[in-house]
Each structure stands twice: as C-alpha cells, then as structure tokens.
Structure 1
Amino acid sequence: MSNLKIVVVSNMFPTGKQPRYGIFVKEWLDQLKNDCTFKISSVLIRGRGTNIIAKLAKYFVFYLRILWVLGDSNALFYFHFGNHSLLPLLFYRKRVLKRVIVNFHGSDLFPGRWAGKFLLRITSTFFSHIGAFVVPSADYGRTFAENYGISSEQIFVSPSGGVDSLVFQPNGEIQSDVVHIGFVGRLDPGKGFDTLINGFSLLIEKYEQLHLHVVGCGSLEEIYRTKVNNSKKLKEHVTFYGEKPRSQLTDFYNHFDIFVFPSLRESLGLVGLEAMACGTPVIGSRIDGISSYLKDEVNGIAFEAGNALDLCNSVEKYIGLSMEEKIRMRGCALQTATCYDKNNVMLKMKYFIKEVWKRNT
C-alpha cells in the first residue's frame, strides 16, 4: 500500500511561545511524516487561547475545518484528545466513522471539568461506530472498555509515542554521599506532590544526606514553594527549578538516584519511563498506568498512592539496599525502558494504522 492519506486532528499543538503545549503530538506527527508511504495533512489548534473569546474563535475555525476534511472519502482520520475534537463527527454517518482513529491520552477520557464531561457524554454516543481507539496502557484500555462498552478489538495500546533512547540514556554513576530524589511533572491537583513533600518531611527527620529536586510548574507551584520556604528544614533540602526544556531533562534524570512518581491517576506516565531509560529506578504510586511498567523491588519500588508514610518507607527501603542491589535495579530499569523505545512503538503504530484502513475500506 502506498500514499495512504492521513488527516491528523488535534486541539493541542505547540507554538514558538508555547513550546511544551501538546509537544508529544508534534513529536508523534514528525515521526509519522518520516514514512514515505503516508501522505499527511493536519487540522490543529496551535497554542492556548489567551482568553475565552480567543478560545471560542480557535474552536469555531477548528470545527469548520474538521467538517470540511471529513468529506474526503479517500482519507483516514486520526484524532488526538477525543472529548474536545470529536464533536463535528455527530454530522457524519457510520461509514465515515469507521475511518476514524481516536487517541485518548489521559484526562481527556476522564475529564474533571464540566465542559469536558459534557462533550464526552455527547460524543460517546457514537463510540461503537469508531474504527479504532488508541490508549497509552493496557490498564487504561480495560477501564475504557468497561466504562463505555467498547470491544477490546477496537482498542490498540501504544505508550504515548514511546521513549527517545537517543535522548534519554544513562551518563552517570550512582552517588553515595547524598541521596538525590527527583520529581519531574506538573504541580497540579492529582499529581501527588503533597504526598511527596509530606513523605520527604518524614525522611529528613531520619536522614540528613537527602535532597529533593523539583522540576516542573503548575497551578499549585506557589503554594508548595511557600510551604517549603516556611520550613527551615525543608528549605535546606528542597530545590525548585521550574519548567525545563525536554533537552535538559536527561541531565536531571541522571543526577537523581531515584525518581519519585506520586500521581493519584496516570494513563501511563511517560516521565517514569524516561527516568528508567537513564537508569534511574522509580519509586511510584501503585496505580493503573504506572503499574504497567513499574515492577516492585525489580526496577523500582511501589507505594500506596496518597500515603506519605508508605512513600517514606519505600525510599528508606531503597536507601537500605546494597550497592550491588542498586546496580541491579538500575539495570532492570534500563531493560524495561527498551521495551518502550519510540522507534519500535512507531513501527507498531504504522502497521496498526494500515490495518485499520484495510479493515474499513
């Protein structure tokens, strides 16, 4: 098969001023464009709207463009982020929906805000007619199938574009004097940073040679910074770096002895795999998504989500390991990450896309 026409649709895509906004969609799209058997076009919302009027204007044009391209009977349509992008499909028949692939990434399938919930309630009425769905993990796929009555045959698991092993790779050695604990992610509700900071407070009562490195920003950043600055003990042991470009994350992952991933909900949690690709074991919440790759006491240590004491105990367990055991855990983390290499992930994705086209045309 040659020159399969694919229209990629996403309401999140980066701009020069907002380089991190939907960056994973851009990276995925760039990989897809490298395949000469595909003819790629796109319908995108680039960057966030600065106010409600700007957002409404962006979506008005976005929906009109989707309605226009869906008239192409020789194309397959790949939608990222289902709850906001799928509304125009209400106006098309089943034969068009069979040529649609919807990629859910996380909160778009289980939205917290009323608008997302409302849109999902409407669009889920035609889920059974969609050609296929892509989800980041098998755990997430099972939850999706159970909640929406979707056949497992409609679901394809692909781990969010995978890990770039040319970028994320080990370049350091285990440090023995200070234990460097790392966090990379959004400082938002549900990300579990309060669990981490409370658990870390317990740890520094027992261990002086600890340091917590926090990379990221979010709606709760100032609250957490204030909490740390108001505690003399925490202030000496915690450093906030703000948001950092992806190109610098490898150095952080390699500097960490362990990466703590305290989220309360994750569809996969690619940052945990990026840390593992740098040989850094993960201390992570025992939840769906993270548990699909975190194997307790093999490539990291699992703890009860939201339980600061259990997090503290898990870090202590790692500290108590012998050097040989730590090296073995680092090796297992590296081995796990190789299964999620982006080149292998994209090869499977391309094959899947072609199979959906064959099946529904």
Structure 2
Amino acid sequence: MKVLLISNMYPSREFPSYGVFVQNTEQILLNNQFQVDRIVLQKKKTKLQKLFGYALHYTKIIWSGLTKKYDYIYVHYAAHNAAPLLLLKKLNSRVTIITNVHGSDVVPEVSSQEKFQPRVKQLLKESAKIITPSPYYMSLVKEKYEVKTPIYIFPSGGVNPDVFYPFLDRNEAFEMLKLDPNQKYIGCVSRIDVGKGWEYYLKAIAHLEEATPTFYKYLYIGSGKDEDAFHNLAEELGIKEKIIHFPLLPQTSLKYVYNAIDAFIFPTVREGESLGLVGLEAMACGTPVIGSKIGGLKDYIIEGKNGLFFQPGNEIELAEKLWFFMSSSEEYKQRLSRQAILTAHDYTINVISEKLPRIFND
C-alpha cells in the first residue's frame, strides 16, 4: 500500500522532539511494509521562515496529489493542512484522505485558531477515515462535528519502550541531569505556554511550601512564549530556590527526568489535551502521574491506582495531592509505580503497532 504522509510538525536535528509522534506513525507503517512518501514541515524560528515554509508545504501537497497516485493521503493536524487538501479534493476527487486530528484541531487554544474550524469540519467530512488519539477525543469529534465518517482510535504513535523504561539504578538519572542524589524531586514536562497550567504548578508549590516546607525540589522541563512570566512568578511566589528549570529536552534525555522524579505533575487546563503522551512516557518509567482531570488524561489515569487527579486550575487541590503523595508510605508509592508501568505497557509501540495498519486495511 502506498501512502503520502502529510504533517506540519516533524522532528529535525535542531528540534528532535517536534512532532516525534508523527515520525513514530511513519515508522510503524514502514515496519508493516507500507510504502511511505512524506511532505512535512519542520519547526521554523521566524515568521518569514514559517510563511515561506507553509507556502512550499501547500504547493508540494497539491502537486503530489495531482501528479502521483496514492492509496491514501494520511494527514496529521487537520487545522493547518485542510486548505490545500480541500483544494486538492476539488481538483482530484479520487484522492482518499485519512485525517488524524490532535489537540487544537478540535479545541482551539487561542481565538486566532477559531478561523480554521469551518475547514476542519469540511476536511473531516471529505475524509474516508478519521483517527483520534483517545476515546475522549473521539467523543469530542463526534459531538462537535456530527460527521458520518468512520472514526478510529490510535494513541499518537505510542510510547517507545526502548527509550522510556524504569532504571535499575536511579543514580544514572541524577548524574546525567547533574542533580543531587540525596535530594527528592517532583517534575513537570511541558511547553511554557497558555493552557499548559504551569502557573498552577508554581502556585501549588508555593501553597505547599508555605504550609509545610518539604525536602523536595521541583523540576520544570520546557520552553515557550511565557518563559519570562514563569520565572517572574516563581520569584514573586518566593519559590525560585525550589525550582530547577531545564529547557525543552529531546526524548532521549526525558527518560532521565522521569527516572529522577518521584511523581510527574500534569497541570494542563486544555480541553483539547487529546491524549497527554508525556504522562504515559512518565508512567513507562515507573513514575505515577498527578494530573488534571481533563481531556485524554481521564482515559489512563486511575485515581489511587496509578496516579492522582485534581480539578483543572485548582492549585489548592494540587497542593493537597502533592502533600498526600509525599507523605504516603513507600509501599503505596511503589504500588502506584508498578501500576503506572502496567498502564503504559498498553500504549507502547510494540503493543499498538498492529492497530494503525488495521485502520488502513479496514
């Protein structure tokens, strides 16, 4: 089967984690003897680079769709790729599209993204099949667009067990990150952008440390538009000395983070959190997740079994859950850890690799 993979997110040498799940889906198809061509856009630094990048990206989509024959055109991210694909469909009605929707495709994060919604709806209607990352997101798509197109679930390329696994010796993680092995850590991995909940993480830490000073320090791994605001708030709250900030790290380095921390905090407030793959990657390393009760997180976090929930945006409740976890017995923490590993196993590439080819062959 010959497939044209289209995405406006794809890893590069400079940004190895950017759209890595798209690369994972490509590898799954290749491993199953699919022939895959790709038209992808890698991360650009300036607005001008982005403008020219999209112009070339759209031109390639239309040209390839008109001059080459594919069994399927498989697109990740409907919002930013809908325009050229809808035009291509008009010019060549025989093209068959499978659309894999994510995050802001269905739930725009900022008002400027609302303008894409009519095209998203039209693309989903024109698609032969729709792929969503989670049961939550499938329900959201059905409810919002009322499409008759068949909808399938495939968890965003899955967790790579060759990268994410529990270390036998955690000192390796502390050494790689240059952390004190005698110190305890809680951590969060996320962009520092709107909707990611970084401010609630900081405020929860401040509430907890003011009420009951702990032996913990708090990692935050990520970069973004709100980075200055992040550091300003940490200073304003008086917790700057408690925060250890790393820039966005590649996946090969994130495994050290997940193995160094006792719990992973997932404070998102985005209804468009279609799966939350970082939470599953943390679980694969044996790290329980304390997460917002929202989006795709509700599909894999089980309260008191492999993690804990708090209401989105409620820093007081997050502080309470943090303290509950910190003050729990080692036996309880180990039980959460074991269950986290079992949960993540069901999302590993090895387990889900048969699902994507089945969707194409169905």
- TM-score, structure 1 length as denominator? 0.89
The corresponding residue for 1:210 is 216
The corresponding residue for 2:54 is 59
Conserved 8 A contact 2:264-2:279: yes
Unaligned runs of 5+ in 1: 356-361
The corresponding residue for 2:292 is 285
After superposition, the Cα gap between the structure-2 partners of 1:15 and 1:74, relative to the gap in structure 1 and judged at 3 Å, is closer
After superposition, the Cα gap between the structure-2 partners of 1:129 and 1:211, relative to the gap in structure 1 and judged at 3 Å, is same
The corresponding residue for 2:23 is 26
Tell me the number of residue pairs that the alignment of Structure 1 and Structure 2 aligns: 348
After superposition, the Cα gap between the structure-2 partners of 1:330 and 1:111, relative to the gap in structure 1 and judged at 3 Å, is same
Aligned partner of 2:141: which letter?
Answer: F
Match of 1:43 among 34, 39, 45: 39
The corresponding residue for 1:228 is 234
- 1-side partners of 2:95 and 2:141: how far apart? 19
Match of 1:320 among 327, 339, 342: 327
Residue 116 (str. 1) matches residue 123 (str. 2): no
Shift of 1:118: 1.8
The corresponding residue for 1:168 is 164
Aligned partner of 1:166: which letter?
Answer: D
Conserved 8 A contact 1:98-1:129: no
After superposition, the Cα gap between the structure-2 partners of 1:307 and 1:97, relative to the gap in structure 1 and judged at 3 Å, is farther
Residue 140 (str. 1) matches residue 150 (str. 2): no
- 2-side partners of 1:90 and 1:194: how far apart? 39
After superposition, the Cα gap between the structure-2 partners of 1:42 and 1:216, relative to the gap in structure 1 and judged at 3 Å, is same
The corresponding residue for 2:197 is 192
Conserved 8 A contact 1:79-1:86: no
Secondary structure of 2:155's partner? Answer: coil
- 1-side partners of 2:234 and 2:321: how far apart? 22
Name whichever of 210-219 and 108-117 sits farther off. 108-117
Residue 305 (str. 1) matches residue 296 (str. 2): no
Shift of 1:86: 1.7
Conserved 8 A contact 2:29-2:356: no
Name whichever of 153-162 and 333-342 sits farther off. 153-162
After superposition, the Cα gap between the structure-2 partners of 1:326 and 1:62, relative to the gap in structure 1 and judged at 3 Å, is same
Secondary structure of 1:117's partner? Answer: helix
Aligned partner of 2:71: which letter?
Answer: A
The 5-angstrom pairing of residues 238-253 of structure 1 reads: 238-253=243-258
The corresponding residue for 1:76 is 72
Residue 86 (str. 1) matches residue 82 (str. 2): yes
- 2-side partners of 1:28 and 1:15: how far apart? 16
Secondary structure of 2:239's partner? Answer: helix
Shift of 1:277: 0.4
- TM-score, structure 2 length as denominator? 0.89
Shift of 1:102: 0.5
Shift of 1:230: 4.7
Conserved 8 A contact 1:79-1:102: yes
Name whichever of 242-251 and 91-100 sits farther off. 91-100
Residue 337 (str. 1) matches residue 334 (str. 2): no
The corresponding residue for 1:264 is 269
| TM-superposition CA deviations, 1:45-96 (whole Å, max 9, x none) | 23326223x3333222222222222234542110111111121233325984
Aligned partner of 2:186: which letter?
Answer: I
Shift of 1:322: 1.7
Conserved 8 A contact 1:253-1:280: yes
- What is the aligned-residue identity percentage? 32
Shift of 1:129: 3.1
Aligned partner of 1:57: which letter?
Answer: F
Secondary structure of 2:85's partner? Answer: helix
After superposition, the Cα gap between the structure-2 partners of 1:131 and 1:208, relative to the gap in structure 1 and judged at 3 Å, is same
After superposition, the Cα gap between the structure-2 partners of 1:230 and 1:117, relative to the gap in structure 1 and judged at 3 Å, is closer
After superposition, the Cα gap between the structure-2 partners of 1:22 and 1:280, relative to the gap in structure 1 and judged at 3 Å, is same
Secondary structure of 1:33's partner? Answer: helix
Conserved 8 A contact 2:158-2:347: yes
Conserved 8 A contact 1:97-1:130: no
Conserved 8 A contact 2:24-2:158: no
- 2-side partners of 1:28 and 1:126: how far apart? 21
- 1-side partners of 2:235 and 2:17: how far apart? 28
| TM-superposition CA deviations, 1:285-329 (whole Å, max 9, x none) | 011211110000110110111001100111122123222111111
Conserved 8 A contact 1:10-1:45: yes
Name whichever of 120-129 and 132-141 sits farther off. 120-129
CA RMSD of aligned residues (A): 2.3
Conserved 8 A contact 1:5-1:74: yes
Residue 348 (str. 1) matches residue 344 (str. 2): no
Match of 2:7 among 5, 10, 17: 10
- 2-side partners of 1:174 and 1:196: how far apart? 24
Aligned partner of 1:140: which letter?
Answer: Y
After superposition, the Cα gap between the structure-2 partners of 1:309 and 1:174, relative to the gap in structure 1 and judged at 3 Å, is farther
- 2-side partners of 1:177 and 1:58: how far apart? 47
Secondary structure of 1:203's partner? Answer: helix
